Structures are given as C-alpha cells and as structure tokens.
C-alpha cells in the first residue's frame, strides 16, 4: 500500500454501503491538474446521542451503557446490533451532561435503534439522530467546501480506490474560481402529444464552448445535431454530456421540469440517465412536493431553486422566469417564445430554426446565470458546510440550521431536536408575536432629510443582550441581570455571566464580516473583490435570518420569549433615537424598525455627526447607529382609509437626483405596467416641481385609455396564484381568470404567475378578468378608475394638488375626465 497526499477541492459527497459498512465517497478536484478523484473513507460511522437522566448514579449509567451495547433485535431483515457506545461529556443548554454516543453499522439503522431504545426508562431523550450521514461527515471532518483541502490517502490495488487516512483544511486559502470547474447547461423544448410530454429539442451549452441543439427534425440550424427520433435525442444528450465530462450540470427549474420529463421519457424508452464519467446514474426522487434530480460526481445545480428561495427578495422582475431573471441579473435581451409558438412550429414544421435558436439561448442564459451566482453559492456552501447541491436548494431556515449545527459541533454542543408536528402546531397556536415599531409619517413633501439606521439591529441586540433559550431568567444573576439586562416590555432578563450559544456564534459572524469588509477596502483585484463581497453577503444573510429562525415554528432553536425580547429591545432603541432626536430639535419625519428619517433646515454635517456620536456614546454593547445618507426631498402620501400618512410607502430624492421609491404601486408587480409607469412619471415630475406637466401626463394617459390607444400588453396584471384553485374562498379577479382558463382545458398549479386583463365583457371585475392570452379588448373605465386614478391621486394630494378627486354622485370623476 502506497501512502500519498492529495490536495484538492471538495464539491460533492455521498456514501454507499458495502458489506454492511458505510463508505463515504468524497468528490475532489485537483486544483493544479484539474483532474477529479473519488476518495473513499471507511473510517466514519453513523451515530446519535442518548441522554440519560441526570439523576442516574454512575452505576446505573454504567448499566444503561452496557444494556445499549448488548442490544440485539432480530427480525426478517436480519439482526439489529449496536456497533459501540462511548460515554462523552457534551454541553446541553449551558450545562455539561453525560451522554452516550451510540454508533451504528449503517446509517439507516439510526432511526431503527432509536425507536427500540425509546422504551428504556433511564433515558431522558435522544439527540442528533436526524442529521443525514454525509452531512454529518462534512461537519465532523471539518470539510471546507470550495477551499483547498489536503488528504493523506492510500491506494488499494485490488479495487483501485483511494482511501482517506487523514484530512486537513487550508482555512486561509481563498475560495476557488468558477473557471476551475467544467460547467454544462441544458434545456429541453417539449410538446404535448396524446397526453404525454415529448422532447423535441435538447440544447447543450458548456463552458468549453460547446453549443449544440439535438432534434429529430432537419431544421437548418447551424449547431443542430439531427437524429432519428425522441429516444435518440435522449441518447445523444447522454453521449455528448459524457464526452464533455462536466463537473456541474446547470438547469433552470430542472428539478421540477426538465428532469421530470427526462425521467419519464427515459423510462418509456428503457434508457438510463448515465451521464457521469464515473458511471453513476441520475436519480430522481421526491419528498412531498419537492423533487430533486441528483447524481454523485455530476452536481446538478437548479438555478431556479436558488433564485426562488434565496434571491427572491432582491428580484424586481414580475416573474422568476428565466428570461426575466437573465434580463435583470445579466442585462441580457429577451428572446420570448411561447408554448403555442413552439407547438405551432412543430406541427407545421415551419420556423423550427427559431425554436432551436431559442432552445440554445436558454441554455446559454442558464450557463451565464450559473457563473453569475457561483460566488454567492460557493460562499454560502462553505459557510454553512453544505454541498452545493443542497445549498442551491436550501431555504433560509435550512441555512441557519446547518450553520448552527456546524458551530455546535465545533463547540462540543449538542443541538436541540427538530420539533414534532404536534409541537409545531402548538407553537403556531401561540399566534403572532409583537414585532417592530413603525413611525407614522406626516403627509407631504419634506426637504433635507438625513437618514439614520442601526447596523444589523436584531443580530446586534441578540449579541448585546445575550438573547438565547438558555440564558433567559438564569439563576446565576437573578439580582444583577434583572436590573441591568431586563427586557423593556416583559419580565424576562438575560444572563450576564455565561454567553449563550446563538449570541456567541452570531458574534463570530459579525466580527468575521467586519474583518472581511476591512479587507475589501484594501483590495484592488476585481476577481478577489467579487469573492470577498460574496463572503460578506453570505455572512449578512445568515446573521439576519437568525432572529426569524428563533421565531420559526419549525426551528430547533425556537423560543417565543427570545423572539419577543429581540423585537422588544428593537422598539426600545428606535424610540430612544426618536426621543433624543426630538430633544435635539430635529423633526422626525418617518422611521421603520431600525431607521429614522430626520428633516433639517439645511444639510449640516456637523449637526448630523454630533447627533450620531451622542447616540452611539450611550448605546451598550455592539449596538451602533449609522448615518445612511442625505436626501434633498422626500414624499409621503396620505393613507387611503383612516388618518395620517401611509407607512412603508415613500419616495426619496438623493443628492444626485436619483429617485428611490419604496412600497408604492410602482414597485408592486401586481399592478399593470401602465399604472406603474404613470405613477413613476408623476412622481418624477412632481419631485422636480413640474406640477402642470404631471397633470397633463395623466390626462394624456386617460385619453389614450378612452380612445383605446394603449396597447393591451401594458394593461396586463400579474398576480401569483398562491395555492391550488380549489382552496380559494374568495373569487378574486386572477382566480376567476384561471377558472375560465381551466374551463378551456388549461392546467394550473399553486405558485404560478397569472397574467390577466380586465376586459370589457362582464359585470364585476372578476367577471371581466381573462388571461392575457385570451384577451383582445379591455375595460377603459376600469383602468382609469382602478389603476390610474388611485396610483396618482394621493401623490398629487401629498404635494398639495387637492382638486383631483372630485366625486360626483359617488361615481368617480375628476379633473382628468374633462
């Protein structure tokens, strides 16, 4: 046996079972040779923890340990035995506890063994039994994903395998580049034929420059590979992919669409999706509604999933369709082809090269998006110690949980269990808890606004006040903390002696982020900057998700009191800033959660800095108020119903004249393009004192609507169908439009975007609503009264143009309708 050292980057991992032994497989890329190697590790076995009751004597504990060691159970599938039991001391809720680490032979025995041991009376509970084996491996072996790792290995001649002897991570090496890997994106075009979805085009584009479209029809497209039939398309795909030998397969919604079709068609034709160079097959599995297509050593990244769960909050496009996302993130021009175009082209065998071109374009966009998100995906993957396959499919909750589990292992802490279903129901029944404070704005146009906000308000509070499940109302500082660290609106206080687990790991994140931000300031290399920025961003989103995670019913670290304490301190601090600002003679214009808008007679940096210092000198811990910037104008509109200004909707003009719009219909995707554009234009004109022009602009729009000169595309309203059509209580316009489309034979799923138009035919608005593709006229009165007037009238009112909404016999009429 030769001993050897292999250095490389880990980007995939799984396990196989051989002779009743688990064998972890680690997929590693050698950064120098760019060769991939599969490393095997036979040294790791599955385990979970048994927590014996605290009151057990040493002898009783010893007997329990023996009992577990000797456990044996026979059934048809064989004998269930324990591999070994080790006594360990672990931290549970700030307490040191004696636990038994119960090791099993193979991973699937973990839940079986736990179930058998549940009846033992000496056992208080079980921990960490639901952490997947390969995830456990990544954590326990301190694998640094996308960073250089060093493996001592030996080669086994008989099998040709490399076995891992020891692992060392190079924590200071930078995260690797996109260009280190080979990437391949594919896309399918399909048609529905006799109730089946059939593949007619498959495009493949990869990072080495390969650009192919496979079809069984001669279409004249330059990159086309023409084959016999649908079966051959799938086979040819496999052939090309195998030859190109990528490390990553990129799709846009491949989990739910492309692989779904592929799996079905491949099964029909009796083909295996064996695309990997090491002979592994793709497996397609579903857990509830969630579907995944996976292949060891050929990592499938579904970009749509990442966009949907992680990036959605930052996306502005109406829908998350590939074209929209590519346009927003890459600035790529749209090539829109609808399903009916495709099926028409296919039936008539005309324009097929256009469809082929479109198919390739989709793969090109997917590949480009893959490059675009790589820095973020790899940073997150590294931070939370999860495979890129899992990271791109993770929700915020999963990310926080994974990060916490990793840190807990580092600190010799056992994490709490996931809640049972009943427990989750109980938590949800507690109802919503009190959240942030929002200052009601005064209506009107304000000048010279200085904007302040707290840096990472909730993480700062959790760290500063040591908010954690284990630090609430501790006995050790009953006298002191009750006075010094009491929650403003509640009777809780938090320990001041021992740092809680969550505050301590949050603190690490915050400090690391500060450190990276400092390095960013000194870095010139753009490639490096992008990586560092992605790293600080990953830290930011994980830190910000912690508070929400503590209040999430499905969380391992759920605590109602911790969550309400966090928001309570938040309200306390923002009120403090508002009060002090008033005392200093500032006029408070607005504020939301962690921000305060103050208006000044004129820009005065001396005053601003003095106020900032004054506040920060009195803030405890790492609480920090920051000066965000100065705005020459700010517009706050009247609420439609009730008194006062509308919260969470305003427009600001910065010193360079840029307009920032928050909350108004302009930024809402469930309003027509016409309404959004009109509102934006009106805001723009009014904020530059062009009142008459603004009025004329609106008059012009109304006129165009009356004379039907507005193209119907601008009147399409996008709304998300959030659930299945049958579960709607209320027949809203988009729901009715869908119902009518279903009557025509179309199918809809929850989560789909619905584009509809309010047509002229019908009684109520819902009656008039039709899917955009079926609408060929529109109701001008609806668009005037329900789309244009509402979005501009209160903005005009805010700048003092009152005579707008003259009501006449309760039918809305106004100066625009001369």
Question: What does DSSP say about strands 299-302 and 248-251: parallel, antiparallel, or unpaired?
Answer: parallel
Contact between residue 221 and residue 357 where contact means Cβ atoms under 8 Å apart: yes
- The least CB distance from residue 664 to DNA, in Å, is 8
**CA separation for the pair 588, 449 (Å, rounded):** 9
- The least CB distance from residue 313 to DNA, in Å, is 6
Looking at the Cβ atoms of 803 and 808, the one nearer to DNA is 808
- The least CB distance from residue 563 to DNA, in Å, is 7
Looking at the Cβ atoms of 518 and 722, the one nearer to DNA is 722
DSSP calls for 526-595: HHHHHHHHHHHHHHHHHHHHHHHHHT-TT-TT--HHHHHHHHHHHHHHHHHHHHHHHHTTPEEEEEETTE
Residue 189 CA, chain-centre distance (Å), reads: 27
Looking at the Cβ atoms of 281 and 593, the one nearer to DNA is 593
Tokens, residue 133: 């084996």
Looking at the Cβ atoms of 667 and 804, the one nearer to DNA is 667
- The least CB distance from residue 760 to DNA, in Å, is 15
Of the candidates 790, 442, 451, 803, which has an alpha carbon nearest to the alpha carbon of residue 646? 442
- The least CB distance from residue 362 to DNA, in Å, is 24
Print the SS3 string covering 667-718.
Answer: HCCCCCHHHHHHHHHHHHHHHCCCHHHHHHHHHHHHHHHHCCCCCHHHHCEE
Crossing angle of helices 339-348 and 352-384, rounded to 10°: 140
Helix (H), strand (E) at residue 256: none
> In a 10 Å sphere around its CB, with 0-12 CB exposed, 13-18 middle and 19+ buried, how is residue 618 labelled?
exposed
Looking at the Cβ atoms of 433 and 627, the one nearer to DNA is 433
- The least CB distance from residue 440 to DNA, in Å, is 7
- The least CB distance from residue 718 to DNA, in Å, is 6
Sign, CA torsion 743/744/750/756 = negative
Contact between residue 457 and residue 548 where contact means Cβ atoms under 8 Å apart: no
Looking at the Cβ atoms of 395 and 632, the one nearer to DNA is 395
- The least CB distance from residue 510 to DNA, in Å, is 16
Looking at the Cβ atoms of 137 and 458, the one nearer to DNA is 458
Looking at the Cβ atoms of 532 and 661, the one nearer to DNA is 661
Query: For 276-281, which contacts have Cβ atoms below 8 Å and span 24 or more sequence positions?
Result: 276/242, 277/36, 277/242, 277/245, 278/38
**CA separation for the pair 284, 265 (Å, rounded):** 13
Looking at the Cβ atoms of 340 and 421, the one nearer to DNA is 421
Looking at the Cβ atoms of 409 and 427, the one nearer to DNA is 427
Contact between residue 638 and residue 646 where contact means Cβ atoms under 8 Å apart: yes
- The least CB distance from residue 191 to DNA, in Å, is 29
In angstroms, the first-to-last Cα distance of the chain is: 94
Looking at the Cβ atoms of 179 and 764, the one nearer to DNA is 764
- The least CB distance from residue 521 to DNA, in Å, is 24
Looking at the Cβ atoms of 355 and 682, the one nearer to DNA is 682
Tracing tokens 């909050």 back to the chain, one arrives at 313
- The least CB distance from residue 646 to DNA, in Å, is 4
- The least CB distance from residue 705 to DNA, in Å, is 15
Residue 359, classed as helix, strand or coil, is: helix
Length in residues, the chain: 818
Crossing angle of helices 673-687 and 691-706, rounded to 10°: 160
């Amino acid at each position: 046996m030769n001993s050897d050292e292999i250095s490389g980057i880990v980007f995939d991992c799984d396990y196989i079972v051989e002779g009743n032994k688990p064998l972890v497989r680690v997929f590693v890329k050698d950064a120098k040779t760019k060769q991939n190697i599969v490393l095997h590790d036979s040294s790791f076995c599955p385990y979970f923890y048994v927590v014996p009751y605290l009151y057990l004597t040493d002898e009783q504990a010893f007997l329990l340990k023996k009992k577990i060691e000797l456990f044996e159970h026979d059934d048809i599938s064989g004998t269930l035995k324990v591999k070994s039991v080790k006594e360990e001391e672990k931290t549970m809720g700030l307490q040191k506890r004696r636990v038994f680490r119960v090791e099993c032979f193979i991973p699937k025995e973990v839940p079986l063994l736990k179930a058998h041991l549940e009846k033992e009376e000496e056992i208080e509970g079980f921990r960490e039994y639901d952490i997947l084996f390969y995830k456990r491996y990544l954590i326990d072996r301190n694998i640094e994903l996308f960073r250089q790792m060093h493996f001592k290995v030996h080669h086994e001649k008989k099998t040709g395998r490399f076995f891992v002897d020891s692992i060392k991570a190079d924590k200071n090496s930078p995260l690797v580049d996109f260009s280190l890997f080979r990437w391949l994106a594919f896309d399918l075009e399909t048609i529905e034929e006799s109730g089946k979805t059939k593949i007619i085009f498959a495009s493949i584009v990869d990072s080495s420059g390969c650009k192919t479209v496979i079809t069984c029809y001669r279409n004249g497209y330059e990159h086309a590979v023409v084959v016999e039939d649908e079966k051959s398309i799938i086979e040819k795909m496999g052939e090309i992919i195998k030859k190109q030998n990528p490390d990553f397969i990129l799709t846009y919604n491949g989990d739910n669409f492309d692989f779904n079709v592929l799996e079905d068609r491949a099964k029909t034709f009796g083909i295996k999706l064996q695309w990997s160079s090491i002979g592994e097959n793709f497996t397609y599995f579903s857990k509830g509604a969630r579907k995944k297509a996976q292949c060891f050593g050929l990592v499938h990244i579904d970009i749509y999933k990442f966009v949907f769960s992680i990036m959605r909050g930052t996306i502005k496009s109406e829908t998350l369709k590939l074209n929209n996302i590519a346009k927003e993130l890459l600035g790529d021009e749209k090539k829109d082809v609808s399903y009916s175009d495709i099926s028409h082209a296919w039936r008539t065998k005309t324009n097929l090269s256009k469809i082929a071109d479109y198919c390739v374009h989709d793969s090109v966009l997917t590949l480009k998006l893959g490059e675009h998100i790589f820095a973020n995906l790899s940073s997150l993957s590294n931070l939370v110690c999860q495979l890129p396959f899992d990271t791109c499919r993770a929700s915020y909750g999963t990310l926080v949980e994974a990060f916490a589990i990793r840190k807990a292992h580092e600190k010799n802490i056992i994490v709490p269990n996931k809640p049972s279903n009943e427990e989750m129901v109980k938590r949800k029944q507690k109802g919503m808890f009190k959240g942030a404070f929002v200052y009601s704005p005064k209506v009107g146009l304000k000048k010279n606004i200085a904007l302040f906000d707290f840096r990472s308000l909730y993480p700062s509070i959790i760290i500063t006040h040591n908010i954690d499940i284990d630090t609430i109302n501790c006995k050790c500082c009953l006298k002191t903390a009750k006075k010094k660290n009491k929650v403003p609106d509640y009777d809780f206080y938090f320990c001041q002696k021992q740092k809680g687990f969550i505050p301590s790991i949050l603190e690490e994140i915050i400090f690391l982020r500060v450190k990276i931000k400092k390095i960013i300031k000194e870095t010139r290399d753009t490639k490096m900057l992008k990586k560092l920025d992605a790293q600080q961003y990953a830290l930011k989103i994980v830190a910000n998700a912690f508070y929400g995670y503590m209040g999430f019913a499905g969380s391992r670290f759920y605590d109602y009191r911790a969550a309400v304490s966090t928001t309570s301190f938040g309200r306390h601090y923002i009120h403090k800033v508002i009060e002090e600002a008033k005392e200093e003679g500032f006029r408070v214009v607005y504020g939301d959660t962690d921000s305060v808008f103050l208006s000044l007679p004129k820009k005065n940096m001396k005053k601003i800095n003095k106020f900032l210092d004054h506040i920060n000198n009195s803030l405890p811990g790492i609480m920090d108020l920051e000066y965000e910037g100065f705005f020459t104008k700010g517009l706050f509109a009247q609420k439609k119903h009730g008194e006062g200004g509308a919260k969470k909707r305003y427009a600001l003009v910065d010193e360079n004249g840029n307009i920032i719009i928050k909350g108004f219909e302009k930024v809402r995707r469930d309003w027509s393009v016409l309404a959004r554009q009109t509102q934006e234009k009106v805001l723009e004109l009014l904020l530059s004192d062009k009142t008459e022009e603004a009025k004329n602009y609106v008059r012009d729009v109304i006129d165009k609507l009356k004379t039907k000169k507005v193209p119907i595309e601008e009147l399409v309203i996008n709304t998300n169908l959030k659930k299945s059509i049958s579960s709607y209580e209320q027949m809203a316009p988009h729901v009715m439009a869908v119902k009518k489309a279903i009557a025509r034979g179309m199918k809809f799923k929850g989560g789909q975007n619905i584009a509809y138009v309010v047509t002229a035919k019908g009684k109520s608005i819902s009656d008039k609503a039709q899917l955009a593709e079926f609408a060929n006229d529109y109701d001008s009165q609806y668009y005037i009264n329900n789309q244009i007037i509402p979005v501009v009238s209160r903005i005009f009112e805010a700048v003092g143009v009152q005579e707008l909404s003259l009501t006449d016999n309760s039918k809305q009429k106004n100066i625009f309708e001369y």
